Amino acid sequence: MNQAANALPSASALARPFAGARWLDVQPRHACVPQLAATVLLHAGPPFQGPAPAPVRQAAVQAMLYEQLAPDAGVAQALLAAGAVRLEPAQHYGVVTPLAQVVSHSMPMAVVGDARFRAYAPLSEGPAPALRFGSLLPACLDRLRACAAASFSLRNCVRANPVAMGLLIERALGLGDECHSRTAAANQLLLEALPGLETEAHQLIGANPGFALPVLMAAAAWALHTQGGAIESAGGNGLEFGVRRRGAAAWDCVAATAPVGTRFPQYPATPVLGAIGDSAVLDFCGLGGQALAFAPALAQEWQAMLPAGAVQRRAAIIDPASGGIDPKRVAASGLAPIVHLAMLDATGAAGLVGRGFYIPDAALFNSTQLEAVQ
């Protein structure tokens, strides 16, 4: 690791905000958030002020088919357009969801937390095509059903072997993950922490290097809630990117510009959706874009696109007490957090087209509401 990286906190310091969180259970959404009707679907980021973008609408259609709320995609689209099935922000209910994925009534979720608070995230059903990429391909539903079937044995194993997320994060950082774009080490550590997994559950994790990501997201949602920082929610819905201050009902938002980064060769000019996903909670807890020093290969890959001093940026914007983004420090420095995000086709046709990062307008953090809690 280079000298600049050595000047930054240790892996144990970055993992400290997660020290009390454990992956405790796997439960369907209706068991975790029983007050929600089956006709409510949870989406990433702040509330929509109008129609959702195409990838979210397509994920919603898949969710309705999965829940048998509609017999086909045409009926599902009509129900969504008529408001008979509603989209609501996941973070209003302690849930975080990746990219375009919506969380429906019976989808299995990771339960992460402690006796004080628990946060939830949907299990990752597999690599592309997948709901989180906004795909309409039938294979998504097949994978989701297989994931739900495997979740029963996974539940038993997790209950018997709760996973200490702080320790897992510390070890993954030491192995080259920044715990957002790079999660292969975290994934392997999850497998090692869950001995005796049945074949289906082992394959669910082992064949999908991104399986660990939603579990890490739930740990970050727990940290934002419990560690006393100014910001309690962060994420994008494809149209707006926002933060929600501690105790506030409303979000402060800016336009969600598209992430930049490494495009897959077959999609050199595909239009990219604006920043989307609740995985921003990881970057707002000091991982991801604020942990680039621990993933030098990633920093090198994006070197030409990252702002100067990207690896050292965390020192100017992180609150040492909570380990999270400090709005006052952002406002004073003019340096906004770097958020690692996948790049989705804005039309919903191609799904995942690349991987990169998004930097919100620093003006987002000048809000008098945010400053009032400091």
Q: How far apart are the first and last CA of the chain?
A: 34
Residue showing tokens 């008979």:
84
3-state secondary structure at position 126? coil
What residue has token string 């920044």? 178
pLDDT of 5 higher than 70: no
Tens digits of residue pLDDT in 72-91: 999 999 999 999 999 999 99
**Omega of the bond leading into 127 within 30 degrees of 0 (cis):** no
Q: Quick one: pLDDT band at residue 9, thresholds 50, 70, 90?
A: confident
3-state class (DSSP) for residue 164: strand
- Give which of 11, 16, 7 is closest to 319, Cα–Cα: 16
For residues 184-212, give the mean pLDDT.
96
Q: What angle do CA 23, 25, 26 make, to 5 degrees?
A: 115
In this prediction, what percent of the chain has a pLDDT beyond 70?
A: 96
User: Which of 1-5, 149-153, 242-246, 301-305 shows the lowest per-residue confidence on average (mean pLDDT)?
Assistant: 1-5
| CA atoms of 102 and 117, how far apart (whole Å) | 22
Closest CA to 110 of 219, 229, 5, 242: 219
The CATH superfamily of 3-372 is: v583 domain like (3.90.1700.10)
Whose CA is closest to 99, among 300, 353, 294, 314?
353
pLDDT tens string 32-51: 999 999 999 999 999 999 99
- Give backbone dihedrals phi and psi of 53, rounded to 5 degrees, phi first: -70, 165
Contact 329, 356 (CB under 8 A): no
Specify the pLDDT at position 150.
96
Query: Which residues make beta-bridge pairs with 373?
Result: none
Structural tokens at position 121 = 């995230």
Residue reference for tokens 């999609």: 267
Mean pLDDT across the chain: 95
Distance, CA of 370 to CA of 351 (rounded, Å): 35
What are the residues whose beta carbons fall under 8 Å from the beta carbon of 346, sequence distance 6 or more? 53, 54, 55, 238, 258, 270, 271, 272, 273, 274
Q: Which helix (H) or strand (E) holds 113?
A: strand 108-113
Quick check: pTM over 0.85?
yes
Q: Which of 216, 33, 231 is nearest to 112 (CA)?
A: 216
pLDDT at 276 over 90: yes
Mean pLDDT of 130-135: 96
| Helix intervals (H) in 270-326 | 280-283, 296-301, 314-317
Residue 312: pLDDT band by 50, 70, 90 thresholds? very high
Per-residue DSSP letters for 304-317? Answer: TTSPTTTTTTHHHH
Contact 219, 164 (CB under 8 A): no
Q: d(Cα 183, Cα 275) in Å, to the nearest integer?
A: 20
pLDDT at 77: 97
Radius of gyration of the chain (CA): 19
Tokens representing 322 are 């909570």
Tell me the CB-side half-sphere exposure of residue 149, using CA atoms within 13 A: 9
Q: What is the pLDDT of residues 238-264, one digit of tens each?
A: 999 999 999 999 999 999 999 999 999
Q: What residue spans define the domains of the chain?
A: 3-372
